[in-house]
Amino acid sequence: MWSTAMNPRILEIRKGVLEKNDVLAASLRERFRKAGVLVLNVVSSPGSGKTALLEVTLQRLLAQGYRAAALVGDLATDNDAARLARSGASVRQITTSGNCHLEAHMIGDHLRDWKLEVEGLDFLFIENVGNLVCPSHYDLGEDIRVVMLSVTEGEDKPLKYPPMFNSADAAVITKVDIADAVEFDRAQTITNINSVRPGMTIFETSAKRGTGIDAWIAFLIAQHDALKSPAAR
């Protein structure tokens, strides 16, 4: 500062750090909208039951004549994709090799390599990497972000991960069949979800027993129909 030769200067940038991802996600979203496919980005901690719920969801949607596919993100292994493929839906694994979240370019690249015609789909489920921190920043071009938490995880989970819960559109509480055994505090969980994300749509399900699945499927179909109706947007 005391040197006459050194004058501090400012160069304005004003750019989002994740702009590249956001631009790519916006173009994916436009493509999905044109195709009339409802895209869901499913996030949760590891082991909350994403794959089990998706397995039932895919079976039910296919049985009702809808066309559905899933992209499954994991650090390693294609076990989840193999499990979901049993439903008869088109399923593809994205192995992130250690990356803690999915990014928009991974979705674009896999759709291209997969030669999957999104135009022929009603639903595309993106099962994100099990992680409640990193996936919250990365828009994948989805219509709906669904956060799942199981009854075994503790009612304060939403308070521990506010950015993720706040960025989600719907919450699914899973494994309610064992709620009593693990002394799940349902009222407190719902209060906490609404504190971090007022007005969140909440489903309470058991993939094993089929509890709450009707309401969940009805929600998905209503969202899909809304997407197709010209008045929607």
Question: Measured in Å, how far apart are the chain's first and last C-alpha atoms?
Answer: 55
Q: Which stretch binds other proteins (CB under 8 A): 35-43, 87-95, 131-139, 217-225?
A: 131-139
Q: How many Å apart are CA 5 and CA 144, to the nearest integer?
A: 55
Nearer to other proteins, 55 or 103 (CB): 103
Determine which residue in the list 41, 45, 136, 150 makes contact with other proteins, applying CB under 8 A: 136
Residue 128, SS3 per DSSP = coil
Q: Does 137 bind other proteins (CB under 8 A)?
A: yes
Binding to other proteins by CB under 8 A, coded x per residue (else -) over 76-105, reads: -----------------------xxx----
Nearer to other proteins, 145 or 197 (CB): 197
Q: Does 187 bind other proteins (CB under 8 A)?
A: no
Buried b (16+ CB within 10 A) or exposed e, 160-196: ebeebbebbbbbbbbbbeebeeeebeeeebbebbeeb
Q: Does 62 bind other proteins (CB under 8 A)?
A: no
Cα separations in angstroms, 40 against 69, 72, 140:
11, 12, 9
Q: Does 41 bind other proteins (CB under 8 A)?
A: no
Q: How many Å apart are CA 28 and CA 139, to the nearest integer?
A: 10
**Which residues lie closer than 8 Å to 117 by C-beta, 6 or more apart?**
none
**CA dihedral of 134, 137, 142, 143, whole degrees rounded to 10:** 120
Determine which residue in the list 2, 7, 97, 113 makes contact with other proteins, applying CB under 8 A: 7
Q: Which stretch binds other proteins (CB under 8 A): 88-96, 145-153, 193-201, 223-231?
A: 193-201
Q: Does 46 bind other proteins (CB under 8 A)?
A: no
Catalog residues that contact other proteins under the rule CB under 8 A: 5-20, 99-101, 133-134, 136-137, 158-159, 162-164, 166-167, 194-199
